[in-house]
Structure 1
Amino acid sequence: MMLRSELVQALMETVNDESRLTLRADYLAIWHKLFATLSPLIGHDQVQILFMRSLDAGRHEIPWLPIVYPQGVCDSPLILFESVSMRQTESQVQAATRSLLSTYIDLLFALIGTTLTVQFVCNCAQNAPKTN
């Protein structure tokens, strides 16, 4: 069974480091692909809630992460993350994405189990085109 670190690495490898023009956007695209893959399984709201929890958990390590309020008070957590990411360096966005993915995958393990998490995350990583 794949470990969390292997799943994170598989998703991070979908980004082409040679394409420096869109690197930040490519890291953000990982989240869009992951959300699209997981929404049919666990639902759009649950996908958003897991991301909110990941942001909350990561804020002690990454202080620029947005504070997300309950639904209806602000935009979706991903939109807020994208907004603040545009003001960060590419290396900061990369580090944040890696950290958030680790937490997100741990939450998925707890919610849907290891087998389904591995299946869906691997599917997401394999179907994500590398950008050039």
Structure 2
Amino acid sequence: MFEDCPRLLFGTEELTWRHLPRDLVADGALAYLSAARTAGDGREYESGGRTLAAAFQSAGFRHVIAALGQLGDAVAERTAVSVYRALSDADGRLHPEHAARALHRALQEVRSSSRRESLAFASLVHLGP
């Protein structure tokens, strides 16, 4: 389905859920994964539903933002900047507990600014409380 998409590499092999042990991070607040297929690639049934995004949650990150499909670099960067801007307070501290709301706002901004890119942004999802 996404054979030609860029991939996250761990050494010389593709980074998958198998590379991240459970409870790796004691108190991970937010993992932002904008690489293609980090929230799923249509092959989850082969791994019992495990995705890289789910692996980050199992590793200890409460909030994970990940991509279902492929995003262009400019779109991915603009979305990440918007999300992190929304998560930052006046002193520059991050508040990851608002990750779902921040992603929602970023997606609304993109949808209103560019119809063409709105479908690409629709592939970003939030996992977490």
TM-score, structure 1 as length reference: 0.32
Structure showing greater Rg: 2
More helix by share: 1
More strand by share: 2
Which one has more relative contact order, counting CA pairs under 8 Å at least 6 apart? 1
TM-score, structure 2 as length reference: 0.33
